[in-house]
Structure 1
């Protein structure tokens, strides 16, 4: 791609050595306080179990007194542990995560407990399954050249309740989406809706999958003449002409680059005047560890490249070129 994005060089080693490593002692101290409370909880639970096993058959009413006391102690330790964890997490975000974000762009705003709003998530129409839980954090908001954007972690789930043959109910939480969610101005007011999704059906079912795509999408199927793109994605759109207008060869190539760069399932939608992008990830991305090294250079590099998804998408999709004007 002729206009491929070439980011400015950042010395992540210097970032780690000069701005993050000096704070690791402080972070270890915060984590140690939390670990101590966890240790007290574990000891209390073990003690309670041993006591119940030894004296449960005694028949004495006094048996309940130490049991209630132990349970109260566990609750107290649990509350204290929760507070210590919040303190440790807050310190980690301040000493590590904020510095990574500001290294990419000092003008971006970062909110550790912020997230993409539910209304934006719904407007994207990428995941149409209704959710019962909506959580997120690590909101980054800013502007690159002429393009405004937002990005955060999100985790949406729905509750599934089943009943077995004996009438017993079982509840489980099913993930709809977990990962990074991004949206930005496209500088074009779309009349229809265009969806670009991972091509699971044709990838695993071949020609039969193509037939399934025609009846399973949120809008009519759009077949494009880009072999590499078609291997990775399937397109549905309410307006076929507009979809082809949006998905130029350059943008299709960019989407393939993003999919391969982050090595995860990627969804896009073009609705209103914005582009939405959801990158599915299995684990929490910017959270402190409870054991082992708090953070090392390799983890700093991973966080840096994940936060740079904002730059990558905007530059790969060429959003700053402004080849269109809003109607």
Structure 2
């Protein structure tokens, strides 16, 4: 129903859904009209062609391998082929078709870079998907050449953190154990005279052994680091319940918040009780809750220390800019990203200024 309504909405209808209205939205609207929409229109024809080519190749390959499997069944009997021969056929289809779908995924990455990057621009922020460039891969041979040229990236257990948030949260015990890490969707900028970075992070760990060995996702969500103009006097940790062994072991004391509702929602430990209560006022805590609510996140936690506020929020993939299997020229993709960026601005404004917009929550 929502997609059907979006199809008949005008650009003004889409922008009317943005709340609150921000000064940056006028520039964002012009950017869509003058640059983003024309570029997406050009890419739309290419998108259709790339998906059609990949689909036709997959169908043809699948038909050929299925025919081979049936021929083998006729020649050697069903019992001789099942189940390993059928499984081998499925794997063969996957391997033979993997490379031809690379241009589709490459275009998805390019679309995300274009849409999210454009949404960041009116705010003065920059964006990078942090994805590997797969634009030259379209066959098994080119895929092999790409893997050979990018061995370190392909076989690495994780790229370097593009933000100090990861190490800062890890140091104070607010990140879980892991053996592989991945970062994508980096947003950087300055807001209220404070530099910030935000990135998506995924941590995985191999657990079990033998047949029970499996990959478990230990963390997936957003990491946000805001550099304060002044240093904090103490160290303050806040979180939903369940992250307090580190604080207790390091001589920190629990902070009693002024709001009973917020105290039930968060647990706070600090080395400076007065500073913690000054920082975590009800209106500022509401900024955190609004961020968590919009991203459908959970287990929000963070640390105020030295000159930074660093936050982790567990959530599904964000900043996806829509599906590559749907038309690219959809303002809803762009407007949703503007909304998400606006929430980041709200949080920074709420902690660093007293001049944030009204009626956010």
TM over 0.5, shorter chain: yes
Q: Counterpart of 1:227?
A: 260
Tell me, yes or no, if structure 1 residue 246 matches structure 2 residue 293. Answer: no
**CA–CA distance in 2 between the matches of 1:161 and 1:45?**
35
Instruction: Choose from 169, 184, 206 the match for 2:212.
Output: 169
1:209-224 matches, within 5 Å, as: 218-219=247-248, 220-224=253-257
Offset at 1:8? Answer: 1.7
Decide which moves more: 275-284 or 117-126.
Answer: 117-126
Tell me, yes or no, if structure 1 residue 99 matches structure 2 residue 118. Answer: yes
Instruction: Choose from 240, 258, 263 the match for 1:198.
Output: 240
Matched residue of 2:231: which SS? coil
CA contact (8 A) 1:151 1:310 kept: no
Offset at 1:274? Answer: 0.5
Offset at 1:135? Answer: 1.5
Q: Counterpart of 2:207?
A: 160
Offset at 1:120? Answer: 3.2
CA contact (8 A) 1:182 1:278 kept: yes
Instruction: Choose from 166, 185, 194 the match for 1:138.
Output: 185
1:298-313 matches, within 5 Å, as: 298-313=332-347
Instruction: Choose from 197, 206, 210 the match for 1:150.
Output: 197
Matched residue of 2:75: which SS? coil
**CA–CA distance in 2 between the matches of 1:262 and 1:78?**
32
**CA–CA distance in 1 between the matches of 2:235 and 2:96?**
52
TM-aligned CA distance change 1:147 to 1:54, over 3 Å: same
TM-aligned CA distance change 1:36 to 1:288, over 3 Å: farther
TM-aligned CA distance change 1:6 to 1:189, over 3 Å: farther
CA contact (8 A) 1:126 1:269 kept: no
Matched residue of 2:208: which SS? strand
Offset at 1:109? Answer: 2.6
Q: Counterpart of 2:165?
A: 120
Deviations 1:228-275 (A, max 9, x none): 322432212344344234324553354345445555333222123210
Matched residue of 1:153: which SS? strand
Tell me, yes or no, if structure 1 residue 24 matches structure 2 residue 67. Answer: no
**CA–CA distance in 2 between the matches of 1:77 and 1:260?**
39
TM-score for both structures, normalised by structure 1: 0.73
- The gaps in structure 1 that reach 5 residues or longer are 202-212, 322-327
Total equivalences in the alignment: 291
Offset at 1:172? Answer: 2.8
CA contact (8 A) 1:160 1:174 kept: no
Offset at 1:110? Answer: 2.3
Matched residue of 2:237: which SS? strand
TM-score for both structures, normalised by structure 2: 0.67
Question: What is the aligned-residue RMSD (CA, Å)?
Answer: 3.7
**CA–CA distance in 2 between the matches of 1:257 and 1:74?**
42
CA contact (8 A) 2:238 2:303 kept: yes
**CA–CA distance in 2 between the matches of 1:94 and 1:232?**
36
